[in-house]
Amino acid sequence: MQENQVYPIQNAQFDYSAYVTAEKDNANIMERYWLNSAGEYIYVHPQVPLFVDYGLLQANHICFGAQIAEPYSSKRSHTELSYDIWFLSDVKAAHKHAVENYLGKPSGLPDYQMVQHPIWSTWAQYSYGVDGWKVMEFAEAIRAHGFNDSQLEIDDLWETCYGSMEVDTAKFPNMTHLVQELKGMGFRVTIWLHPFINSNCEPWYTEALESLIDFTNPRAATWWSTRVRNLLDTHGFDSAKFDAGQSSYSPQVPVQTGDIDLHPHHIVDTFVRTCAEFGNMIEVRAGFRTQDLPIFVRMVDRDSIWGLNNGLSTVVTTTLQMNLVGYTFVLPDMIGGNGLNLNHEQADMPSKELFIRWLQANTFLPSMQYSYTVEISKKYTDLHADFADDIYSAMEASVSQGSPVNPPLWWLDPTDKETFAIWDEFLLGENILVAPVLNEGARTRNIYLPAGRWLEEGDAEIVYEGPIWLKNHPAPLDYLPYFVRDAKSAPSSTTLHNITVSLLRFLPANCHRVIEQSTTDTTTLSIWSELCYEESTTTLLTANISLVASTVFAVFSCAIAADIYLLETSKLKIFLQNNTYGGFNVVTELKGIRDIVSVIGRHAGEIINVARNEDIVITFENKTSVRIRTKEIEGLRKGQLVTFDWESPKNYRLEDCVNLGLYHWYGGPQQKRQFWPIERLVLHDYSYVTKEADNCAIAEPYWLNSNGIFFYFDKKVPLFIDQNNVDKNAACFIADVKPPYSNKRETNELVYALGIFNNPKEAHEFAVEKYLKKPTGIPDESMISYPVWSTWARYKKTVDHDTVIRFADEIIKHGFKSSHIEIDDLWESCYGSQVVDSRKFPDLKNTVESLKSKGFRVTIWLHPFVNKGCEPWYSEAKGKGFLVTSEYGSVETSWWNDNGTTTATIDFTNPEARTWYSERVRNLQREYGFDGFKFDGGESSWSPQIPVLKGDIKDQPGVITADYVRTAAQFGPLVEVRTGYRTQDLPVFIRMLDKDTYWTFENGLPTVITTLLQLNMNGYPLVLPDMIGGNGYSEPPSRELFIRWLQATTIEISKRMVDLHERHAPQIIAACRRAVLQGSPVNPPVWWADPDNKQAHDIWDQYLLGDNILVAPILEHGGTSRDVYLPRGRWQAQENGQIFDGGDWIRNYPAPLDTLPYFVKIL
């Protein structure tokens, strides 16, 4: 990315310079990817100390150099120039291939409201002069101009000194109150943050000993993150704008943590990933190999001028440039530019014309950011809001397919040469073309429309047939030319065939063929190529050119070792094969076809010895070894089981990587943005424990693929996951003795089983039998048959006797009988007392009896916390040692109900603490007559870190989740919990974490289905979905959303729907009983009915009830039909009795708002 951003880039100026992110020249994105219009691309590997030259060294050429010179460290062992060149059929196919294999796709979506509603920044208008009074003045002006539901960002300068993260009270006397006032006006509120500490900013500078936080140092990143979290929580900010982050801000040449070959840009990656932990409302302005993050990347500040010298035109060219290096969630800079804040000689406040044209150019981009309140803004803000769903759909396509949100015109027809050089038009998705006016004084412009029928402004009366140039098309100042493609005329999109391509590290040592090799005293140059085919229909050539120079001889070599066979039968062979880059490939050979399942011991070092008796024991240097056992599984489900038992000193990191291949994967962690299957999930060195972050309430160490292979990890492993991050299309399982695991462990261990079976169903059934286990019983049948009514989503913490009774009467009035009512948060005198607040419930026993007399079963909300100040219970628990203590001796932690203090959590690993807690719960139950309880919390992350728990230290910290849930399960069949860890055997409902009232994968309606499947395929078949319609934290659900949510959950367990659900209650109960007897999912995926059917392996928006009922809810806003896949068999549609033969798709199956498509298998 450049200050004078041209597009296409062949005319860009970049004199031979280091290719790293830098403040200079707006170089905040410097991805090592070049794509041309012929369908060829180059990707330079991240370890290369890269210098690039455009046209200076050789005219009309891009030259790549590798040189150990500033900013690259001289401590590198060698110089390396390595890159891949790909040749594909056209430019679109090439870019799709690059996204799939190198750039990656976003793993989720930013907050929808950032798309729908404007962002207002104080920066351009108030600069450093911002204070509390000006912020309120700004907010009132925004409201006065009719803008509602906006986001207001308090920019630089609000701190006492840069890096303190302490509010300057001279400018903001009461920041918390200011934020509350702004929220009361309808604003979401964010704050500006950065990675710097000025040298005079004490005591923080002395504590950090750095002017720029070293985010490559995990301790430093945690220190900084903790302070950010405290700032956000203390003042109630919704999120943050993270500025800077480019590697050039480090002192040169920087000394960073980690692989020196990834310096200096490693700090960009770690800074941005640290920022991304703060949710989906953040924005950053730099990136390096961080395209997978579900966040906005902001353009660097623009000048309030026309032209390509950092003015209006570069808003469009930079949008195209960012989209085509994989950063599709672009946050354009402030509309109108930054006014007088930049040092450009033409810098000035934007003229009316410039502001309007800037506004128009932004309208179809993902987000609109303002600093000036101008009347004309409302018109285009409303137009943007009208197309917000289209924008978000394009963003969803980016997540699912990796496609640009705002692509260039050639995306529609990559063979149309007319489009290749067009830089002043762009698309939104594939159906909206925008042609903004970018020249001062212009009232017309030439517009190119590619092939198809185009409706001007979507008007069916104004139609143009492309391809065509519209010469001198009218564009007066109040008009934005845009065109909507007629869907009926849209050509089918070109698709790239799936190519069987693996990362080189997953290839056998002899997979490549050395074509040419030449050697001098100091340099070895090897060029090799590999041809990859798909069923002889597609041929691609990938050439990897590698230049390796060193001060020692023969630096490029391949270790050679004989294959080590683990199992050899007439049908299947499993063996270890030397991997070129270290360690071994685990290879299966079935019917002559070899498949690399995983790579083990990549970083274990040199092999010292291989011993074979019944087991194979491989000893490496550094006292590291692995014991491998194999076992044939006989009986109903035939298969093979291979166990790997790694052990090393605790200061060594163990890592084995699984090749995700072309298969679909299930299991893994529960996530807020729950994709399913999970092969697209991106995890960055992710601690695999239960935690509040990411809704990771379930973190079972189980992964299953569609080819019938599973991995299951022992509870003693200090497990981390790195998926699609360092290695694309791979999941690396890491054992590392670091937080949140205790350093008091004596050794490090990576112990797991690899199961190989005929299909995923057989593999899962075996995993349930041996590892996951089956429920020992089912919950109360009334919870399954009849609705559960919670006070939470509607009343939140305002619940009291009167509201509960009114709620019950309203339920009865609407004809719901035999129901279950749950009194949620807040009923206690203080959190942890388990004593009723008599101001809200003067006679709770009477309340409960009254509800029971109306036909309700009654439960109440509980949790494992005791807030500081909740006396005498806090002091009693602390004095008796019943609270979890950290290794630093503190019991203090935090949760969502801190209420301005700190909290502590009960140590359920302590038998005496469990008894103390349980007796108080039983007393509550006896005194008031509750039928059961809703137990909240319980994830291990709520403990003070690093927790000191009872029992085997190798079971920690996960054991506290297990012991909490097992304690809760003692209270009968009307119990629900929201977390679990190896507790699949318990006969209790596990509740999904709170869902948001959205249509999207941002924790909205679709994730009800994907989370249902994720939980079932982790061995938790007794699922209690969250409240129908979501929790309504931002706004109540629309009628359509509520109905579709209701339909999506009607056939699931314990849903708050009566008629249809009650009619099928016997089938649901029967499915629950099968789960107890056989361990089968209650709501399995579609492939469960036909496990060898590849069509079914990635279907996420349908599910089964047992084996014979298939449900296909509508999950898209405005949808009135959908495609439905029926597996083999004969299926009867329940709304009209129509019978269908399975094994095929039903296209455009009608589903008006009052219809839930579901089918019963009749044969």
Q: Helix 911-928 to helix 844-853 angle, to the nearest 10 degrees?
A: 60
Cβ-in-10-Å burial (0-12, 13-18, 19+) of 593 comes to exposed
- Per-residue pLDDT tens over the stretch 1109-1140: 999 998 998 999 999 999 999 999 988 899 99
| Phi and psi, residue 357, nearest 5° | -65, -35
CA dihedral sign, ordered 270, 275, 277, 281: negative
With a cut of 60, say whether residue 889 has pLDDT above it.
yes
Distance in angstroms (rounded) separating the CA atoms of residues 114 and 152? 11
Q: How confident is the model at residue 513 (pLDDT cuts 50, 70, 90)?
A: very low
Tally of CB atoms within 10 A around 815: 8
Distance in angstroms (rounded) separating the CA atoms of residues 1006 and 1101? 7
pLDDT of residue 154: 95
CA dihedral sign, ordered 45, 48, 53, 58: negative
- Give the three-state DSSP class for 712: strand
Domain annotation covers residue 655: yes
Pair 481, 435: CB distance under 8 Å: yes
Pair 617, 625: CB distance under 8 Å: yes
Mean pLDDT confidence for 107-125: 90
**H or E element, residue 361:** helix 352-362
3-state secondary structure 28-53: CECCCEEECCCCEEEEECCCCCEEEE
With a cut of 60, say whether residue 495 has pLDDT above it.
no
> Percentage of the chain surpassing pLDDT 90?
67
Pair 621, 602: CB distance under 8 Å: no
Pair 492, 451: CB distance under 8 Å: no
Q: How confident is the model at residue 334 (pLDDT cuts 50, 70, 90)?
A: confident
pLDDT of residue 1003: 82
Distance in angstroms (rounded) separating the CA atoms of residues 318 and 63? 22
Distance in angstroms (rounded) separating the CA atoms of residues 973 and 961? 19
Give the least confident one: 87-96, 548-557, 801-810: 548-557
- Per-residue pLDDT tens over the stretch 16-54: 899 999 888 888 999 999 999 999 999 999 999 999 988
Distance in angstroms (rounded) separating the CA atoms of residues 85 and 44? 9
Pair 312, 142: CB distance under 8 Å: no
Query: Mind giving me the DSSP string for 1090-1154?
Result: STT-GGGTT--S-EEETTTEEE----STT--EEEEEE-SSEEEETTT--EEESSEEEEEEE--TT
- Per-residue pLDDT tens over the stretch 1066-1087: 999 999 999 999 999 999 999 9
CA dihedral sign, ordered 549, 550, 553, 558: negative
Place of tokens 């009114």: 806
- Per-residue pLDDT tens over the stretch 1005-1049: 889 999 999 999 999 999 988 777 777 666 777 877 777 776 766
> Percentage of the chain surpassing pLDDT 70?
90
| Phi and psi, residue 123, nearest 5° | -65, -60
- pLDDT: is 804 or 1 the higher one? 804
CATH number at residue 232: 3.20.20.80
Mean pLDDT for all residues in the chain: 87
What's the helix, strand, coil split of the chain in %, to 5? 25, 25, 50
Mean pLDDT confidence for 77-88: 92
Q: How confident is the model at residue 376 (pLDDT cuts 50, 70, 90)?
A: low
Q: Which residues contact 245 (CB under 8 A, 6 or more apart)?
A: 21, 28, 195, 268, 271, 272, 275, 284, 285, 286
With a cut of 90, say whether residue 1153 has pLDDT above it.
no
pLDDT of residue 500: 27
Domain annotation covers residue 959: no
Domain annotation covers residue 969: no
- Per-residue pLDDT tens over the stretch 524-545: 333 333 332 223 222 222 323 3
CATH number at residue 651: 2.70.98
Distance in angstroms (rounded) separating the CA atoms of residues 276 and 957? 25
Mean pLDDT confidence for 203-209: 85
Q: How confident is the model at residue 107 (pLDDT cuts 50, 70, 90)?
A: very high
Q: How confident is the model at residue 338 (pLDDT cuts 50, 70, 90)?
A: confident
3-state secondary structure 1046-1080: HHHHCCCCCCCCCHHHHHCHHHHHHHHHHHHHHCC
Mean pLDDT confidence for 323-331: 96
- pLDDT: is 422 or 1002 the higher one? 422
With a cut of 80, say whether residue 2 has pLDDT above it.
no
pLDDT of residue 383: 92
Q: Encode burial over 539-559: b for 16+ CB neighbours within 10 A, e otherwise.
A: ebebebebbbbbeeeebbeee
Task: Give the CA dihedral 1097, 110, 434, 443, nearest 10 degrees.
Answer: 180
254: its two tokens: 């920087």
Distance in angstroms (rounded) separating the CA atoms of residues 282 and 239? 6
Pair 15, 25: CB distance under 8 Å: no
- pLDDT: is 1056 or 806 the higher one? 806
DSSP state of 557: -
**H or E element, residue 793:** helix 792-795
Give the total number of structural domains in the chain. 2
Q: Which residues contact 30 (CB under 8 A, 6 or more apart)?
A: 1, 19, 20, 21, 22, 265, 288
Distance in angstroms (rounded) separating the CA atoms of residues 779 and 974? 6
The residue range of the domain holding 160 is 126-298
Distance in angstroms (rounded) separating the CA atoms of residues 631 and 638? 11
With a cut of 60, say whether residue 747 has pLDDT above it.
yes
Place of tokens 């009619």: 1063
Place of tokens 């000194």: 161
- β partners of residue 528: 514, 544
- Per-residue pLDDT tens over the stretch 262-308: 999 999 999 999 999 998 999 999 999 999 999 999 998 888 899 88
Pair 1018, 702: CB distance under 8 Å: yes
Distance in angstroms (rounded) separating the CA atoms of residues 880 and 859? 29
Distance in angstroms (rounded) separating the CA atoms of residues 954 and 745? 7
Q: Is the peptide bond before 68 cis (omega within 30 degrees of 0)?
A: no
- Show which of 298, 321, 354 is a domain's final residue: 298
**H or E element, residue 878:** helix 873-879
Comparing CA positions, the residue from 618, 620, 585, 580 lying closest to residue 599 is: 585
With a cut of 80, say whether residue 756 has pLDDT above it.
yes
Domain annotation covers residue 987: no
Distance in angstroms (rounded) separating the CA atoms of residues 588 and 642? 12
- β partners of residue 1133: 1159
Domain annotation covers residue 260: yes
**Euclidean distance between the first and the last CA atom of the chain, given in angstroms as a whole number:** 60
Domain annotation covers residue 263: yes
3-state secondary structure 296-340: EEECCCCCCCCCCCCCCHHHHHHHHHHHCCCCCCEECCCCCCCHH
Q: Which residues contact 121 (CB under 8 A, 6 or more apart)?
A: 153, 155, 241, 334, 369, 370, 371
Q: How confident is the model at residue 1 (pLDDT cuts 50, 70, 90)?
A: low
Mean pLDDT confidence for 73-77: 91
Query: E-strand spans in 803-938?
Result: 820-823, 857-862, 865-867, 885-886, 903-905, 932-935
Q: Which residues contact 467 (CB under 8 A, 6 or more apart)?
A: 413, 416, 418, 448, 449, 450, 451
Distance in angstroms (rounded) separating the CA atoms of residues 382 and 503? 46
Give the least confident one: 55-59, 207-211, 473-477, 559-563: 559-563
Domain annotation covers residue 584: yes
Distance in angstroms (rounded) separating the CA atoms of residues 244 and 156? 12
CA 401 centroid distance within chain: 15
**H or E element, residue 193:** strand 188-193
Domain annotation covers residue 105: no
- β partners of residue 1132: 1139, 1160
- Show which of 708, 737, 772 is a domain's final residue: 772
- Show which of 772, 801, 833 is a domain's final residue: 772
- Per-residue pLDDT tens over the stretch 890-912: 999 999 998 778 899 999 999 99
| Phi and psi, residue 1070, nearest 5° | -60, -40
At CA 526, angle to CA 521 and CA 531, rounded to 5?
175
With a cut of 70, say whether residue 57 has pLDDT above it.
yes
730: its two tokens: 């791979």
pLDDT of residue 375: 58
Give the least confident one: 112-121, 428-437, 499-508: 499-508
Mean pLDDT confidence for 646-665: 93
- Per-residue pLDDT tens over the stretch 162-198: 999 999 999 999 999 999 999 989 999 999 999 999 9
- pLDDT: is 728 or 392 the higher one? 392
pLDDT of residue 891: 94
